[in-house]
Every structure is written in structure tokens, then in C-alpha cells.
Structure 1
Amino acid sequence: MTQLRSYQRAGVDAVFDFWAGGGENPLVEAATGTGKSVMVSTLTREVMERWPDMRVLMLVHVKELVQQNAQALLRSWPGAPVGINSAGLGRRDLRSPILFASIQSVYRQGRNLGPRDLILIDEAHLVPKAGDGMYRRLLDDLQQTVPDLRVAGFTATPYRLDSGRLDEGDDRLFSEIVFSYGIGQGIADGYLSSLVSKATDTTLDVSGVARRGGEFVAGALEAACDQDAITQAAVDELAHLGRDRRSWLLFAAGVKHAANLRDAVRARGIACEMVSGETPQGERDRIVRDFREGRLRCLTNCSVLTTGFDAPAVDLVAMLRPTLSVGLYVQIVGRGTRLASGKENCLILDYAGNVRRHGPVDAIEVRGKKDGSKPAAAEVTEVRAKECPSCSSLVALNTRVCTTCGHEWTREDAPKHDAVADAERAILSLAAPPWLEVSGLSFARHTKPGSPDSLRAEFHCGILTHRVWVCLEHGGRAAEKAAQWWRRMGGAEPVPATVEEGLERAEAELVWPHAIQARQAGKFWEIVGYRFAAGEGWSTRAVLNVEEAA
């Protein structure tokens, strides 16, 4: 059976708790790459265990997610009564108790699918707010048979591409967000790749581009972006900044723009292809497979790789597609957050001004109108991140102390409207602190009156010592975080239940990082990053101290 991460377990439990309290249609927010398919499969299995007569329909918009979600369920429940309905996969099952389907294949089949008590929707931000579209048509037909059917949604962006929240408005489908696990949390916990960015000299000017429905008009946007001088300058810069990166993913403003970017990259001797909605399915599958398997270093695209695309090795994302949509911005950046062997982080190059417009990706704020009407999209000249005058890092507007260099802003300071939106590390609200080489590691028992004992890990970095308190015996969220830390440091299962057991096992099991990142949190410091020597398999080399500490 699949071992759930603590947040995955918490997300599934939140859905059941919401239903137990009388709620109807919950929404789970989980960042790209954090394993929504595992949460979906666990929820499906446990629903069927509690109510064996339930009939479940799981909907997505691309065949890859149909297959991925079905396989996740079969891994945890090999005998599950699963069917698949997807033209792209060559399957047309209709009556299976658990049916995984692409919405394009079944939206006209509501009367043929039989009664469905629970609908699960992955990439739920694609469900329209108004009563139209494929999802709404199918749900309306299914409710004719089961009026009180329930819908649960999963998404990395709980707002539509026009910035409207999924849980707001009189005609919303989802009742409320019952659980959130964002990009910042995933990076801090070690489940997602860190993100960094560097300032680009080339910037796309969209100040005169018309807008409609909360987004740039497509044709006018491409005309502004697809200019040869800009393309050549951007690709020159891309080739320089990405010289040490192995897998580049470029987002273009149109089909011709994507093709021109591809040609410019090829002209510099780099293997590159492009995909768009016009690319034949077989050819698209081949190109994407070549990219995933490393035969292509670069892939350009127009509007087809923003959701449901999984290529963990991507370590450079270039935004040459300006957007007023916070959802599209987060989805684009999310393509680079998956972990992969040999990948230290993902470099985000923002030629489009999206970071300045929307703010750091882990500090997104979606603003809607109080009357429930359609929220306003971002403004072209809006500034939602500010540049540190000392080190050029970009941070959230409400930041008072720069986490990179310690510069302090006064309350009278205002963000500069000519701020460089893509300055180094701008893509995250908390800029990454420097790496400190670890010269020694030790462990001890820590006691505190009125609390259970904890395991104290001390990382010695020259004259500095940074500590982590691992609360193995505390229970609840503290114990979950202790288990995450133990696994992240290479510890074996099961996680120690006591401090004594942790001390006995630490030297043999835990891997000694050769560098850490530490960030100040109030009066104390917390370790926020670990770097391990690739392929060396270092042991802790720790001196274990089991004496009680005050």
C-alpha cells in the first residue's frame, strides 16, 4: 500500500471531516508535484471501503492524468473495480463502479454512465464558473439521476485563469477550500525543487496590448511579443544563463512565436522542438517523450503544457508569455518544481514581467470583489513585489526585513514601479539564504519542563551552530514534522517512536548534509535547506551525546 506523506493524509482527512460536518463540495489545494493523484486514489479507496455501493467518477482533461490517477489507485488497491473512458487511451468503459475518464470523452455520456454518487475532478480550476461548458453539462445530466451527488475538486490553483476564486460567487460549484499545501510549504519540507531567478536584460513590453475578459487579447499579445530583435536578444541571454541547465521549457505568446523561439534556439546549436494545439497528437506525444527522456534539451510551447504536464528534470522555465492571470502564472512556474536526480533547483527566467505583476509565487493573493462578481485581473503596470536596494532580491510588498541581506524597510518606503521583477531569487517571497558548509553534526536529548523530550540535532558550521528540535514523542503535527525530517535525512522506516530510539539509530541511518541554509525566524534561527553530496552516500560522522540538556 502507498505510504502517504503527512500532508496527503491531512488533505484526505479534511475532505471526510468536511462531509461529516454536513458540507457538500470540498476543494483541496495542493501544489504541482505534491502528489494529488495519491490523494485522489486514497480518497477513492477509503470512500469505497466505507460505502461499498458508492459509484465514483474521476474526471480530468488530458489522457496522461487519466492513466496516472488510475495507476495510482491500482498501486494501493490492485483489485479495484476500475474502468477507463478516454479516446486517447483507446478505452470506452461506461459502467465500472470506479470510472476514470477524460471530460472530452464523457461529457455527452451522462445518461449512459449510470448513477454516480461522487465526482472527483483533478485540475479543478478548469471547471467554468457559469452554468456551461463540458464539466457543467455532464454534472447537470448526472444530477438528473442522483440529485444529491457530491463533487470534490483538486487543484494547484484554486482560481480560474481569469483570477476568479473557485469557492466564491453565487454560482460556484465548490463550497470551500478545506485544505491547502502550497509551493512554499512543499519546498520547505523538501518535497519540491527550490526555485531561483536571475535578472534578465530583455523585457517584453505589453503596455499597449488590449485586454478582454481579464486577459490580454491573444492576437495582440503575440504581435507585441513575436518580434525578431526581442526574440534573438532573449535567446542569446537564455543560452548564457542556461548554459549549465539540462532541460529548458519555454512558454510563448502564440504558435508562431513558439516556432520562432524554437528556430532561434536551434540556431545556437541546441536541440529544440515546439508543440501547440495544432501539433498532431502522435507527433506531440513523440516530441514530449523525447524531451522527457533527455533527447531534446529545449521545448517551446503555446498553451498546451501549463497543466497535466509532468517532466521532473525541467530545471529552467522561461516565461516569454505575459499574463494577467495569476492561475496561469502559478501553473507555468509549477512545471519546474518537481524533484529529479541531479537537479538542485529550477531557474525561472521572467522576460514577461509576471513576477512583478503577481508577486512571488509562494505569496499569491487573489483579490475578488466583495459582491461576488467577477474579480479584476492584474493590471499591466501593477507592482506586487519590491526590489531590495542592497542586494536586488525581490520580495513580497509586506516584507520588512530582506531575508538575503538583512536590509530593513521603513513604513514610509514604497515599492518602486521600475523594480526589476525578475531579480535573483525573486520567484519566491523568502529569498534563499546562503549555503553554510557543515563541519560537524551531533545529537543530544533535549528536555523542557512540561513538554515531552525531543531529539536535538546540532549542525556545526565553522563558528556557528544551528539546531533542529525533532519532536518524536510530541504527537500531532509536531510528530508528523519530526517524521518528515527523519525521512528527509535518509532515516529508515519505521520512524523512531522515542528520543532514545532516535539517538540509537541516528549514527547508522542519517545522512550528513555537506551544507545547510538557515533563516532567522524571530529570535531564533531555523534550518530551511539541506544539500547532500551527490552520490557519496556520506554517513553522519556524528558524535552522539545522550546527556540531557537543559
Structure 2
Amino acid sequence: MQLNQRLMFETPNVKVADIPAEDNVVLRCYQEDSKVAIFREFDSGVQTTLLVLPTGTGKSVVFSAVIEEEANSGGRILVLAHRRELIDQAIGHAKAVGHFAGKEMGTSYANRQRVICSSVQTLNGKRDCRCCDGKECERCGGRGKIWRMERFDPFEFSLLIIDEAHHATATTYRRVIQHFTKNPNCKVLGVTATPRRADKVGMHNVFESCAYQMDLKTAIDQGWLCPIRQTFVQVAGLSLENVKTKAGGDLSDSGVERAFLGDTDEEQEERLHAVAGPLVEIAQGRQTILFASGIIHAINLTAALNAYDKVTAECVIESTDNDERKAIVDRYNSKETQILVGCEVFTEGFDAPGTEIVANARPTKSESRYLQRIGRGTRTLPGVVDGLDTAEERRAAIAASAKPYALVIDFVGDSGRHKIISTGDVLSGEDVFEEDLLAAIEYAKESKSAEDMEELIEKMKQAREEREKRKEEARQKRLSTKTKAKDLDYDSTDIDLFGGEGFDPFKDYEPQWDQATQKQVDFLMKLGVSPETATGYSRSQAGAVITQLKNAKGKDYRITFGKYKGKRLGQLPAWYISWIKSKNIGGDRMAEQIRIMEVEKSANQQVIF
């Protein structure tokens, strides 16, 4: 047997002595509530449960407290993650609560420690069985191979903790969970900031319950995280129209990178500086993390940024040497380096509270991926909010600090048929009117300044309601005039004061130079938008809404015929959809949208709890 077959995948990491440990950790109120809720679930008979907290609110602090309580009561714990940074952090957190953790990863082997931290890749490694030649064997069951996880007897463990548990639906994780839950008394705790996956695979496939959950908006409103401001930068020539969607539901990585690099050297140069130039101008020396669309894009963007005066940018990619990576991050945290460029290496297990700007040059359709990125900037500066009792006090302290908000810069172009995630999507909540969100995003794209998306959405809502009020008053005035004219003839008997004649955009609407055109209003009405709302849009806003509604699929597809004209497909009664299918109304396109809706409905039944 070769040595590397036994030692598996990874290389040695930082020494345990180098891992920082926080002493005298005091749990915040929601962290204490989380811990209590977790043990309540376990005490009720639940074997697998989930903790959901936004990035920057101390998920690892909570599971450290869980480790402390479990270990002090005689239990043995294994912490599972998929990145070396997360493993090292877990060792540091265990140390903080008084337990020296063993490290099972690559060339490192744990012994009999009460807390063990390991990577999922390592535990899924295999070696040849030394007890047989591949025939029946008690040691390997006749497989001829032994999983590394089998070094550990599941009946010696009382708790398995999975960090970044949104990955736990993968086969490699399930295999580890299955091994340790052979012991019915071994509990499983998953910890994540982003439980919703782009591929729609529900977390309930792994976890029986969600013990405690707090979303990003709540954490900001409660003053635990910095508020977010958003700005969009248009990249000339950038189009995502031809970029494919990969199996997981997000845009193809290689396709997005090609779009940002262009087809010629000239296009590449222009698009690199269409990102670098505005970023340097907006950042004004502030600490910034820039997510590039790929490795080549990251390297070239770093070179472009360093061409500007007084800018220091460094790049970290997957192949960056561990020691070099640590040195680069240290320089960034000490502000020797201003801009840190990478692909996805900073989405998990990276803490840099001094980061004020998150720049996104890799558009995504994944809410989870987007949340992970902007979470790099929402942490408050150390000590700003701790010890303050009320949300008002914490928000005031953040506003008065050297980091009053996190700025998110999205570099955008023509998104085509794709629905690209922005801060408006992750902060707006379920009850936000879709057209208010689209109008807010469009306004922010046209604006030259950073916008508070929550406030902007509220302003769009108020403006829409005011437009609708004025339109209704004008409609009632027209109806009153028509009613008086009919009364003069004395021909009619019953008059519907709220009915009147249908709105005709070619008769009743005279757009100003910046308002939606008559053609836009007519088409919006066919898609179900009220005339009051449609005539209140600017031309650019109307265009954005039309594009969004035309590209809607599945349950959001708009019906353009019949008694339910303008309604979403998902709002139609089942009998009407059956009638459409039986008569082949709407042809192949309608049949495809019904099929997509049915697939979505089936998938949504598997989404987290």
C-alpha cells in the first residue's frame, strides 16, 4: 500500500498553538436562546436538528457552548466541516471552552480526545483493508476497503456537529451521518447561515427539525449586524443572456467568467477596468473584498487594480499556498492591503470585521451564495454592540462607529432571461410587492449613490400607493362626468359608479417625456399590471418590469388570455389548468410552463421545513 493512499487528501495545517481562542465568552441573548432550543429538541427525542443564524452573528460561538455543555456532562463530540479554515476555527472554539480538540485531517490523526475536528473529505477517504484480500472479512465486510470514518466507534460519541450544514445533503456528508447515527444516542446538530439551496434540495432530508432560526433582516433590525447599502455599476457590453444554468440552479461558472472577460483582448481590457475603475473610485481606500467570476478573472482584476495609484490589491485562489494565504489575509486585516480578490474562497470560514465593502463581479441566481458573500461585510467592528441591552442602543452604536454600514457593489449588465439576486431580494421579505422590489432595483441601478434597499423599497411602495390614489381620484372624476351626461338623457336605470368604461391607454393616457409609453402601458395591462400602476412607471422602470414579467416561468408565468388574463399561472384553480391542458390552449409554451410549475411544486415540498 502506498503512503498517500492511507494519508488521504489534505496537507498539514496551522499548529494548534497558533489558533486563537477567545476567553470568557459571554453568550448574547439570542445565542443563549439558541443553545437552550437545541438541547430542548434533543431532550424531546429529536436526533437531528438545525441551527440557522446569519453570517457574523456567532454560529460557532453557539456550537462552542453546546460543545462545552455536552463535554462537561461526559459526552464525546465530533465537529465536521469541509474547509481547513473551518476546522482550525472549530479547534480554536473548543480551546476557548477548555477542551483541547484532536485533529483528524490529512496527515493528522486524532487520538482519544473528548472533542475531535475533522473534514468530510478525510472521513470519506478509503484505504485497503489489512485484514483480508478482498474476500469476506469482519473488518471491512468483504469490501476490501475501509472508510477512514470507521476509525471511530459511533457508540463512543454523543454528538456530531456539522458546520456550514447546507452542504449536508451531499452524499459524503450523509455517509458520515449514517455512520455515527448507528448509535441511536448520538445526536446531530447542523449549523448554517443559508439553509435554502439553489438546487431546491430540502434540509429536511437530513434534519428532523430546526431548533432556532434568525434571518439577516432580523439581525440587522435588532442591531447585531451593520445595515446594508447597495449600489449597482453597469459594465458596458456585459451580457449574461447566453450563459447557461448549471445543474445546481446557478449560472455556469465558466459562462459567467467568459462574459466578464469578453471575446478579444480589447474587450477584456475594457471590462476589467469597467470593474476596477469604479471600484477604486467608490471605495476611497476602504477595506474591500472583491468576488471575481473565475480564477483568470481574479488574477487579471488584481493586476488591473494595482495599476491605479495608492491601491494595493492581492489575490487568493484555491491553489494559493497555505502560508501565503495566511500572510495575505494578515496583511488585509492589518490594512496593509486594501482590496482582497478571490472567487469563492472567502464565502465560508473567513472573518474580517474591518471589511466595509463587498464587491460582487460574479452575478448569481443563488440566494445562499449571495448571502454568504454579503455576510463578509455585515459584521460590526469588535466591541461595538456587546453589552448594549436594546436594539435602539445597538443600532445607534453602529451608526456612530467607524463602520456605520456595509456597502454592497454589484457589477451588472444585461441579465437576459436570468433572475439575478441582489440585496433587495434577501432583505425584502415575503410580503413585499414584486413591482415595488423591481422598481427599487431599477432606481438603484440608475442612481449614482449607495442606496438603503429597505428604505428604497418602502419609498417605491409609498410612491405606487400615492400614484394609485391619484389615478383612482381621476377615474372617479371621469366616471362622475360620464354619469351626469347619462342622467341628462334619462335613458339609464342602474348606474355602476365604480365600473365605468375600461381603461384605454390610447385614449385616456398622455405620457410625459420620461413616462412609460402607451405601448408599454398596454402590454403591462395584458400582463396583469393595473393601469394605475402601469401609467405611474418611468420608461426604464416599465421596461424592467416587462422584461421581468415576460421572462417569468412556472407558477409566476402570466396568463394573457381568457377569464384569468393577467393572473400568475400559480393563482389559477386546478380545474382551469386541467382545461388548458386538455384543450392545448396556449400551445407548447403554455404546456412547458405548466410542466415547470408542477416540477417546482414537487421540489418545494422538499424545501426546509
Equivalence map 1:309-458=2 (5 Å): 309-340=350-381, 342-352=402-412, 357=421, 359-363=424-428, 385-387=438-440, 402=460, 408=466, 410=468, 412=530, 413=533, 416=542, 418=544
Displacement of 1:55 = 1.8
Residue in structure 2 matched with residue 445 of structure 1 by the alignment: none
Pick closer, same or farther for the CA change 1:417–1:106 going to 2, 3 Å: farther
Counterpart check, 1:58 vs 2:68: no
Counterpart check, 1:205 vs 2:331: no
Alpha-carbon distance in structure 2 between the residues aligned to 1:154 and 1:386? 35
Higher helix share: 2
Residue in structure 2 matched with residue 155 of structure 1 by the alignment: 192
Alpha-carbon distance in structure 1 between the residues aligned to 2:462 and 2:307? 38
Equivalence map 1:287-306=2 (5 Å): 287-306=328-347
Pick closer, same or farther for the CA change 1:238–1:81 going to 2, 3 Å: closer
Alpha-carbon distance in structure 1 between the residues aligned to 2:185 and 2:460? 51
Alignment-mate amino acid for residue 92 of structure 2: Q
C-alpha contact (below 8 Å) 1:357/1:384 kept by paired residues = no
Displacement of 1:388 = 7.9
Residue in structure 1 matched with residue 13 of structure 2 by the alignment: none
Residue in structure 1 matched with residue 119 of structure 2 by the alignment: 102
C-alpha contact (below 8 Å) 1:356/1:384 kept by paired residues = no
C-alpha contact (below 8 Å) 2:440/2:456 kept by paired residues = no
- Superposed CA offset, 1:228-260 (max 9, x none): 2222122211111111x4211111111111111
Alignment-mate amino acid for residue 418 of structure 1: A
Alignment-mate amino acid for residue 139 of structure 1: I
Alpha-carbon distance in structure 2 between the residues aligned to 1:137 and 1:312? 35
- Superposed CA offset, 1:67-118 (max 9, x none): 323333333x32x36323344xx74214322212233333332111233231
Alignment-mate amino acid for residue 236 of structure 1: G
Structure 1 SS opposite 2:359: strand
Q: Which runs of 5+ in 2 are unaligned?
A: 1-23, 126-147, 263-267, 383-401, 469-528, 535-540, 548-609
CA RMSD of aligned residues (A): 3.4
Residue in structure 2 matched with residue 264 of structure 1 by the alignment: 304
Displacement of 1:315 = 0.7
Residue in structure 2 matched with residue 83 of structure 1 by the alignment: 102
Select the residue among 219, 222, 226 that pairs with 2:254.
219
Alpha-carbon distance in structure 2 between the residues aligned to 1:313 and 1:127? 30
- Once the two structures are overlaid, the 10-residue window that deviates more, 289-298 or 64-73, is 64-73
Displacement of 1:401 = 5.3
Alpha-carbon distance in structure 1 between the residues aligned to 2:360 and 2:25? 35
Q: Which runs of 5+ in 1 are unaligned?
A: 367-381, 422-550
Alpha-carbon distance in structure 2 between the residues aligned to 1:388 and 1:267? 32
Structure 1 length as normaliser, TM-score?
A: 0.64
Structure 2 SS opposite 1:225: helix
Structure 1 SS opposite 2:103: strand
Residue in structure 2 matched with residue 73 of structure 1 by the alignment: 94
Displacement of 1:291 = 1.5
Alignment-mate amino acid for residue 191 of structure 2: F
Displacement of 1:386 = 3.2
- Where relative contact order (Cα < 8 A, 6+ residues apart) is larger, the structure is 2
Alignment-mate amino acid for residue 176 of structure 2: L
Alpha-carbon distance in structure 2 between the residues aligned to 1:397 and 1:315? 20
Alignment-mate amino acid for residue 141 of structure 1: H
Structure 2 length as normaliser, TM-score?
A: 0.58
Counterpart check, 1:247 vs 2:287: yes
C-alpha contact (below 8 Å) 2:181/2:187 kept by paired residues = no
Alpha-carbon distance in structure 2 between the residues aligned to 1:404 and 1:298? 38
Bigger radius of gyration, 1 or 2? 2
Higher strand share: 1
Pick closer, same or farther for the CA change 1:417–1:405 going to 2, 3 Å: closer
Residue in structure 2 matched with residue 195 of structure 1 by the alignment: 228
C-alpha contact (below 8 Å) 1:390/1:405 kept by paired residues = no
Structure 2 SS opposite 1:179: strand
* Percent of aligned pairs sharing the same letter: 28
Residue in structure 1 matched with residue 49 of structure 2 by the alignment: 26
Select the residue among 172, 175, 181 that pairs with 2:214.
181
C-alpha contact (below 8 Å) 2:149/2:176 kept by paired residues = yes
Alpha-carbon distance in structure 2 between the residues aligned to 1:389 and 1:408? 19
Alignment-mate amino acid for residue 21 of structure 1: S
Structure 1 SS opposite 2:275: helix
Alignment-mate amino acid for residue 152 of structure 2: L
